[in-house]
Amino acid sequence: MSLAELKLPDYREQLPEVAARFRRISQREVILRVDDLKKSFGANGSEHIVFNNVSLNIHRREFICVIGPSGCGKSTFIRIIAGLDECSGGTVLLDNHDVSGPGPDRGMVFQGYTLFPWLTVKRNVMFGLEMRGKSHVTAEAEARQWLDMVGLAKFEDLYPHELSGGMKQRVAIARALANEPRILIMDEPFAALDAQTRCQMQAYLLQIWKKVDVTILFITHDLDEAAYLADRILVMGSNPGRVVEFIENPVPRPRSAAQFISPEFLSLKKRLEELIHPPVETGEEEKLPMIKLTVAGDEVE
């Protein structure tokens, strides 16, 4: 079969174990309910709509990836869920409670390194725990548990500048999880890492997610990353931002690098590519201005 013929498998028929997993997921409680969400800037007349009509339900312990072109409102969307930004319409319910401001039920990990540089690794993780009123002894014990979980127990006394990028993000994950959030919100957390470290971090994150009762909402622009990590992938479009499709990932778990060339993985990626890069309409090319080359024979195909 050629790649062009690949279609997203109807896993309900072809992959019964995947279908069974999605049935189990759909039976879990809905943890995040987003209904007709809208964000815009400016007043009537000069209103700039970032996105509108965004509705979705996420079940407990689902791993959701969000992809879409730059500027379609992915970060704005999750900032609203995090309570860092206000919406212009619609509702966000977390555990059936209206989201109106940040709270410990939501943990955040961003692309940029956000650790406190003047605190050690352990103190960075302890910070939120002590803020929430835990004693020094309890906070220290819990911080050590979380650092163990991300494989950094040996590095607890180092300062952030002594860590590699991947290690910093592991501390950031430990710090976010230490507050026992219901949902972990991650905005391109591995985008600044080199390709090999990024792959290791993805595998780490899946291991951690298996052990912790947490739902993950993860923005990425890397289609492989989304296909490797997600249960479902929210594809957003732009002008204005909107939900294009919410795709169930047919790649079976547990995931491994070997699956990157499996028919399910390739067909999912092909579908994502189609949605992210719709074909250029015929005639569009002719509309582009021709910029004359000065050297004859420099034609490209």
Contacting positions for ligand ADP (CB under 6 A) = 41, 50, 68, 70-76
CB of 11 to ligand ADP, least distance (A): 28
Question: What CA–CA distance (Å, rounded) separates 212 from 204?
Answer: 12
Contacts of 264-271 with CB under 8 Å at 24 or more apart are 264/9, 264/11, 264/15, 265/227, 266/3, 266/6, 267/6, 267/7, 267/8, 267/9, 268/8, 268/227, 268/233, 269/223, 269/224, 269/227, 270/3, 270/6, 270/8, 271/8, 271/247
Question: Quick one: 75 or 215, whose CB is closer to Mg ion?
Answer: 75
Residue 5 CB, nearest distance to ligand ADP (Å)? Answer: 32
Q: Which does 41 bind (CB under 5 to 8 A by kind): Mg ion, ligand ADP, none?
A: ligand ADP
In angstroms, what is the minimal distance from the CB of 33 to ligand ADP?
Answer: 21
**In the bound complex, what is the minimum distance in angstroms from residue 219's beta carbon to ligand ADP?**
7
**Token pair 């997921």: residue:** 25
- Sign for the CA dihedral angle at 166, 107, 189, 259 comes to positive
Q: How far is the CB of 283 from ligand ADP (least distance, A)?
A: 27
Does 220 help bind Mg ion (rule: CB under 5 A)? Answer: no
Residue 189 CB-density burial (10 A; 0-12 exposed, 13-18 middle, 19+ buried):
buried
Query: Which tokens is 74 given?
Result: 């992915």
Question: Is position 75 an interface residue for Mg ion (rule: CB under 5 A)?
Answer: yes
For ligand ADP, which is the closer residue by CB, 68 or 160? 68
Nearest distance from residue 78's CB to Mg ion, in Å?
9
Nearer to ligand ADP, 197 or 238 (CB): 238
Q: Which stretch binds Mg ion (CB under 5 A): 73-81, 126-134, 234-242, 275-283?
A: 73-81
Q: What is the dihedral of CA 43, 48, 53, 54, to 10 degrees?
A: -120
Nearest residue (CB) to Mg ion, 75 versus 124: 75
Q: How far apart are CA 238 and CA 50, in angstroms?
A: 8
- Closer residue to ligand ADP in complex, CB, 72/152: 72
Stretch binding Mg ion (CB under 5 A), from 30-38, 49-57, 72-80, 135-143: 72-80
Instruction: Name the residues that contact Mg ion, by CB under 5 A.
Output: 75
